Amino acid sequence: MKRIFVITALTLFMLAFQISSTHALTLSFEPPAQTKFLNDLLSVDVVVSGLDAAGEIVGAYDLDVTYNPAILGNAALDFGTSLGGPADSIPFSDFSSGRIDFGEVSYLLDDDLAAIQGDAVTLATLTFKAIGAGFTELTFDLITFPGIDIKGRDASKLDLNIVNGSVTVNKPDAVPEPTSMLLLASGLVGLVGLRRKFRKN
């Protein structure tokens, strides 16, 4: 009898774990990783996914994203429309070296938000210019107040799986300019001519 009780308890625990993991909400960057060359522009979406399965919405959020300012520069931000913006929400943003603090609060009711939001919501799109070669993480700051604060139904804080991103910036391969090639070719022709002249003498 004891054994049946233990097996039943373990089965229920595993079932509960599977249900909770299938309804997991995720905050991530899309695409999660990019490789660019110096002076390229790049964009990355900040996305909350898994809303439908969890029966949730996004009604407000406040996030901080950090990055290496020696690798990425000229940061810009465009807010999505999934919170009713720009007519039915208040967005805010603040930029500092290596950090973007941004958020949005919707005026819409939960059911109205559910009608316009799908399983995944793009909160904002971040745009950068690759200004230095190297690797940088795109990180959701969990430490600086308020950390990651995303509100769902009834203004309750959502419990999220956090997936950070990354960008690798490479130097372009050195390709000789056409004028350099022309100068090199004319120099070689000149050397061949001089060699022939000395041979005749």
Rounded to whole angstroms, the Cα distance separating 135 from 164 reads 14
Q: Strand pairing partners for 92?
A: 103
Token pair of 159, please?
């419990």
Q: How confident is the model at residue 50 (pLDDT cuts 50, 70, 90)?
A: very high
Q: pLDDT (tens digit, 9 = 90+) per residue, 77-111?
A: 999 999 998 889 999 999 999 999 999 999 999 99
The confidence score (pLDDT) of residue 44 equals 98
Class of domain 25-172: mainly beta
Cα torsion 6, 11, 13, 14: sign: positive
Local structure of 10: helix, strand or coil: helix
Q: How confident is the model at residue 146 (pLDDT cuts 50, 70, 90)?
A: confident
Query: Does residue 31 have a cis peptide bond before it, meaning omega lies within 30 degrees of 0?
Result: yes
Q: How confident is the model at residue 28 (pLDDT cuts 50, 70, 90)?
A: very high
Predicted TM-score (pTM) of the model is 0.76
The confidence score (pLDDT) of residue 174 equals 53
Q: Which of 27, 22, 163, 53 is nearest to 119 (CA)?
A: 53
The confidence score (pLDDT) of residue 116 equals 95
